[in-house]
Amino acid sequence: MVKIGVIGAGGNGAGHARYYHESPRSEVVAIADPDGKRASALAAECSAEALSDYRDLLGAVDAVVISSPNQFHRDHAVECAGAGRHIYCEKPMGLSAAQAAEIASAVRQAGVRSVIGFSVRFSAAIQTMQRFVREGRVGDLISIWSRRLFFMDLSEHPGWRADHALSGGLLFEVNIHELDWLMAMGGELESVYARAYARGQAGPPANDHIWVTLNFAGGVVGTHEGSQVSAVSQYHRGLMGTRGAMETTGWGSRLHFAEPGSAALEVEQDEAFDLRGHFLDCIESGASSVADVEWGLKVMTAADAILESAATGQVATV
């Protein structure tokens, strides 16, 4: 039975807590959140202890799930790993590649297991797209793309999410997911070219809308456009190879495959990969993490390069 502590009792932390409470392989021992009401309500649901300071749970757990606001991820991850606790750290892995490097170093030194919460890559659609690529059904990959546009109403999201210095803006808070899966599919990333727009805050690094081109060593090109200031919503992912192409529709829920010259057919999707269960596998049986801090550091290094390119107007090497 893996003893888990959950740090941050917001909507996302609650999802993690319920999962590990319901799993027969783990037990949620404590929930830490300075918001006492939230901590107590979630702790009561999971028969756990409510604490205001995450440091007070370290003595009682094997592993932590860090689901606090983004600006705390570095400190929480470094401290928990340093105390010898396995870490499931929500994305982003800190607010810069330098912070991610501190987390990776703490994990390496402590020899603990790590998972970064790149949940989107493990969704059914992306898992299925990856399998089609692996099985050679799209031939040699040429292009991968994503477009994720929505409108974030600032009046409904006060606090850390609306403040780019605390959240990292759209790129770190939301589109780090897209960067993760595009990188997982495209191979070694060589350089990026990006532009960014920010509403009401000077940017970059402030960013509410980004355009990114990813140049992979093998010749694959990735493109992404993301927005949290768009009046129209769209969530579209796709890829194209020498023998076929795939795309999602319906806010990413449906997936289609077409071979050149034939109509696109809807594909039955694989099961989503259980990243939370995988964290337990890493701890219990030494499974190799599919999204560890070393990978997270690569993604954060690419994210920094995107901001650098957006600031300079030049291609940035990764």
Q: Which of 67, 228, 289, 309 binds ligand NAD (CB under 6 A)?
A: 67
Q: Candidates 10-18, 21-29, 78-86, 202-210 — which segment interacts with ligand NAD by CB under 6 A?
A: 10-18
Q: Candidates 27-35, 185-193, 213-221, 310-318 — which segment interacts with ligand NAD by CB under 6 A?
A: 27-35
300 backbone dihedrals φ, ψ, rounded to 5°: -70, -35
Specify the residue, 163 or 284, whose C-beta has the smaller distance to ligand NAD. Answer: 163
d(CA 282, CA 293): 13
Q: Which of 2, 5, 13, 318 binds ligand NAD (CB under 6 A)?
A: 13
Q: Does 8 help bind ligand NAD (rule: CB under 6 A)?
A: yes
Of 97-156, binders to ligand NAD (CB under 6 A) are: 117, 119
Q: Does 90 help bind ligand NAD (rule: CB under 6 A)?
A: yes
Specify the residue, 7 or 110, whose C-beta has the smaller distance to ligand NAD. Answer: 7
Q: Candidates 69-77, 139-147, 261-269, 300-308 — which segment interacts with ligand NAD by CB under 6 A?
A: 69-77
Minimum distance of ligand NAD from residue 67's CB (angstroms):
4
Q: Which of 21, 91, 113, 224 binds ligand NAD (CB under 6 A)?
A: 91
Q: Candidates 8-16, 138-146, 220-228, 252-260 — which segment interacts with ligand NAD by CB under 6 A?
A: 8-16
Which residues pair with residue 89 across a beta bridge?
Answer: 66, 116
Spell out the SS3 assignment of the chain. CEEEEEECCCHHHHHHHHHHHHCCCEEEEEEECCCHHHHHHHHHHCCCEEECCHHHHHHHCCEEEECCCHHHHHHHHHHHHHCCCEEEECCCCCCCHHHHHHHHHHHHHHCCCEEECCHHHHCHHHHHHHHHHHCCCCCCEEEEEEEEEEECCCCCCCHHHHCHHHHCHHHHHHHHHHHHHHHHHHCCEEEEEEEEECCCCCCCCCCCEEEEEEEECCCCEEEEEEECEEEEEEEEEEEEECCCEEEEECCCCEEEEECCCCCCEECCCCCCCCHHHHHHHHHHHCCCCCCCHHHHHHHHHHHHHHHHHHHHCCCEEC
> CA nearest 272: which of 131, 78, 115, 83?
131
Q: Which of 21, 38, 74, 298 binds ligand NAD (CB under 6 A)?
A: 38
Minimum distance of ligand NAD from residue 259's CB (angstroms):
33
Q: Does 169 help bind ligand NAD (rule: CB under 6 A)?
A: no
Q: Does 33 help bind ligand NAD (rule: CB under 6 A)?
A: yes
Residues in the interface with ligand NAD (CB under 6 A) total 23
Specify the residue, 117 or 226, whose C-beta has the smaller distance to ligand NAD. Answer: 117
Minimum distance of ligand NAD from residue 12's CB (angstroms):
3
**Residue 43-62 contact track with ligand NAD, rule CB under 6 A, x = bound:** -----------x--------
Residue nearest to ligand NAD (CB): 10
Query: In Å, how far are 30, 70, 80, 109, 308 from 75, measured between CA atoms?
Result: 19, 10, 8, 16, 24
Of 171-190, binders to ligand NAD (CB under 6 A) are: 173
Interface positions with ligand NAD (CB under 6 A) = 7-13, 32-35, 38, 54, 67-70, 72, 90-91, 117, 119, 173
